[in-house]
Amino acid sequence: MCAPYDALPPVPPMAGAAVSHRRLVLEAEDGNRFMAFAGLPEHPSGAGVVVLPDVRGLFRFYEELALRLAEQGHTAVAIDYFGRTAGTSERGEDFPFQEHVARTTPGQVRMDVAAAVAWLRSDEGGRVADVFTLGFCFGGAFSWLQAAGGHDLAGAIGFYGRPDRAGRSDEPGARQRAGELGAPILALMGGADAAIPQETVAAFDDALDRAGVEHEVVTYPGAPHSFFDRHHEEFAAASEDAWRRTLRFIDEHRSAARR
């Protein structure tokens, strides 16, 4: 299980930042219509971020995260995975997400990300110059895989994703497809994550090395799965460092002319 329904990003709102937001319904190439939430900065940096949630799909945690990114100047769009099976209506804590996760394929996620990337690059999305993906758990694994998805990404960031499989499917993950990853990778992992053994993390790091992919794999000793949550006060330092690295990664990999 990833973030609980009442989870919140451990990033306080930025005082004085001017942002707006929009609820969207995007359409993928197969005709799927799905929910999305956009955080829109008043002074765009030129970078755009597709936020890939955990197994719950789109809920408040990821909407708040999109706003925190917008406060940094980055246009952000958080997407939902379950338009094909659950429609586009908002959902409560009792939403049976597991049955929908089981019916979500890597190809579907790739198409939905492509729609979000296209929106960011459109006039409506501000025609961003550099697009990143940022995902958590289920979405962390898929975030890295989008670097092999044909989206022309500037970078892919994943928090505590499984690098050895594509979501809940049996398809190969980012470790097995390291040679296909066409963008820099940032992996932020929990050292005490019972779901992802440290040998798996080390094997991912090694595969990226061997493939010549620019990357950074960071492990926080003692941190569990889903440590990036305001309720995990004992891991506040790890969360603060992970957020700082995320913003630095975006800044370092967006177009030099925009910095």
Q: Residue 191 sits in which domain range?
A: 19-254
Query: Does residue 139 belong to any structural domain of this protein?
Result: yes
Give residue 257's pLDDT. 44
* Residue range 147-175: mean pLDDT, rounded: 95
Read off the pLDDT band of 167 (50, 70, 90): confident
pTM of the predicted model as reported, rounded to 2 decimal places: 0.96
Residue 10, in any domain of the structure:
no
Asked if residue 2 is part of any domain, the answer here is no
3 CB-side CA count, 13 A: 32
Tens of pLDDT, residue by residue over 50-107, are: 999 999 999 999 999 999 999 999 999 999 999 999 999 989 999 999 999 999 999 9
The answer as to whether 101 is a domain residue is yes
Give the model's pLDDT for residue 136. 98
Q: What is the model's pLDDT at position 87?
A: 97
The answer to whether 171 and 182 have CB atoms below 8 angstroms apart is: no
Domain-embedded: residue 3:
no
pLDDT of residue 172: 95
For residue 77 the two structure tokens come to 């769009």
Q: How many domains does the chain have?
A: 1
Which class for 210: exposed (0-12), middle (13-18), buried (19 or more C-beta within 10 A)?
Answer: exposed
- Is residue 37's pLDDT more than 90? yes
How many CA atoms lie within 13 Å of 202's alpha carbon, on the beta-carbon side? 4
Q: Which whole number is the average pLDDT over 149-172?
A: 94
Reference 165, options 134, 188, 195, 186; nearest CA is: 195
- Between CA 67 and CA 213 the distance in angstroms is 30
Spacing of C-alpha 116 from chain mean position: 12
As a whole number, the mean pLDDT across the chain is 95
| List of residues 6+ apart from 115 with CB closer than 8 A | 26, 27, 28, 29, 34
We report the CATH number of the domain holding residue 49 as: 3.40.50.1820
4 lies in a domain?
no
Statement: residue 258 has pLDDT above 60 = no
136 part of a folded domain: yes
Distances (CA, A) of 82 to 53, 78, 79, 216, 228: 11, 13, 9, 31, 23
> Per this entry, what is the length of the chain?
259
Whether 245 shows a pLDDT value over 70: the answer reads yes
How big, in percent rounded to 5, are the helix, strand and coil portions of the chain? 35, 20, 45
Residue 11 counted as domain residue = no
DSSP label of 146: G
As given in the structure block, the two tokens for residue 11 are 């990033």
Which tens digit of pLDDT belongs to each residue from 206-219? 999 999 999 999 99
